[in-house]
Amino acid sequence: MNPKYGTHMGIILKREYPGIIEEKDENGLIISSRLATSWFDYYEKKDDSGVTNADKVKQEFWNAFCVSEADKVEADRVLENYAAKSVRQMMYQLRVDSVKVYHDKIGEQIDDALARPKELEVDEYKDGPVDWCRDNGFSYLADYWCTEEFKAKRKRGQQARLNSEDVAQNRGGSRPFTETQQYMGVKFGPEKATTLNTFSAMKTGFKNIDNDGNIGPIPSQKAQKRVALYEKLGEQVPQELDCPVEEEDPFAQPVEDNGNNNSNGCNTASGNGGNNNGDNNCNGNNTSSLNANDGSNIGGNNNSGGCNTSTS
């Protein structure tokens, strides 16, 4: 099965979550402690060999996906930005998941939409620990979620969203872009799983899609204008030059094999969808490119070593 980059990164980030960050004086005595809440905190915690949790995350990621030396600097930059974004989303989702776990324990099953606005008491949060954070500072988080500071931040964020004239939020649930596209293909057929249809489905919600996969009107004028502009450009640009609209989770794109086999049995794929005619010796590894959110490509493989990747 082809890996999903976003899923792989999420698993690594949870496994290497630093938990409690301790600050020590020059004598090694703990002077303060706090909970890790950002990607930068992964750099704060080190093992006995001086290796940070951030180093471990990146090392494990690049053991699974390799990149050409020429693209290494740009790939590291994209990975840093993506890791920072992923940790923010992970910590936000943790409270929502805790609410769901607690309600499941009392015999009520609720989804993200119902869990998100709910606020629990400290003991209720602690009675709904999420597995990946169960023994790694979860009680600290439960206490923090009940502070006036956290509640004030939540209220400001909610108010900001309500005050926005047109937030163009997703209405397709919590699926990332690529999973939504794959779901569209399975449910309605590949002809309905285009980039534009997937974008439209996420903006209108699956309740507004009929049994034939036809998408209803999009509530957001901002999103509707984007779709209209894209359709207009599509009429003016030849199909082979047509480019996709913004994707929301570039690392989660599945690897696609373009069927370009070389003499060593290595399947390669180029980032722009074209054929890769370069001399790649992968020793039987499967490689592909990884599209970053700024248009750059990162090569990936399913084996940790001995791979020369393709570039777009």
Residue 218, pLDDT above cutoff 50: yes
What is the reported pLDDT for 1? 29
∠ CA 96-97-103, rounded to 5°: 95
Q: Tokens standing for 11?
A: 């698993």
Residue 47, pLDDT above cutoff 70: yes
Give tens-digit pLDDT for 234-255.
665 544 444 444 444 444 444 4
Of 50-64, 122-136, 216-230, 236-250, the one with minimum mean pLDDT is: 236-250
What is the reported pLDDT for 51? 95
* 279 located within any domain: no
* 232 located within any domain: no
Give tens-digit pLDDT for 18-37.
998 888 888 888 898 888 99
Q: How does the average pLDDT of the chain come out, rounded?
A: 74
* 221 located within any domain: no
Mean pLDDT of 40-50: 92
Give tens-digit pLDDT for 183-205.
888 888 888 888 888 888 888 77
* 112 located within any domain: yes
* 141 located within any domain: yes
Work out the number of other CB atoms within 10 angstroms of the CB of residue 221. Answer: 11
What is the reported pLDDT for 26? 85
What is the reported pLDDT for 161? 67
Residue 168, pLDDT above cutoff 80: no
Q: Tokens standing for 126?
A: 């602690």
Q: Which amino acid is at 263?
A: S
Beta bridge mates, 238 = none
The DSSP code for 160 is H
The number of domains in the chain is 1
- Per-residue pLDDT band for 88 (boundaries 50, 70, 90) equals very high
Task: Name all contacts of 187-196 with Cβ < 8 Å and 24+ positions apart.
Answer: 187/213, 188/212, 188/213, 189/213, 195/244, 195/245, 195/247, 196/227, 196/230, 196/231, 196/234, 196/244, 196/245
Residue 301, pLDDT above cutoff 80: no
Residue 109, pLDDT above cutoff 50: yes
Pairwise pLDDT comparison (101 vs 262), residue with the higher score? 101
* 181 located within any domain: no
Domain range enclosing 31: 5-146
* Alpha carbon distance 14, 120 (integer Å): 23
* 109 located within any domain: yes
What is the reported pLDDT for 307? 46
- Per-residue pLDDT band for 65 (boundaries 50, 70, 90) equals confident
Are 203 and 223 within 8 A, CB to CB?
yes
Are 307 and 300 within 8 A, CB to CB?
no
* 27 located within any domain: yes
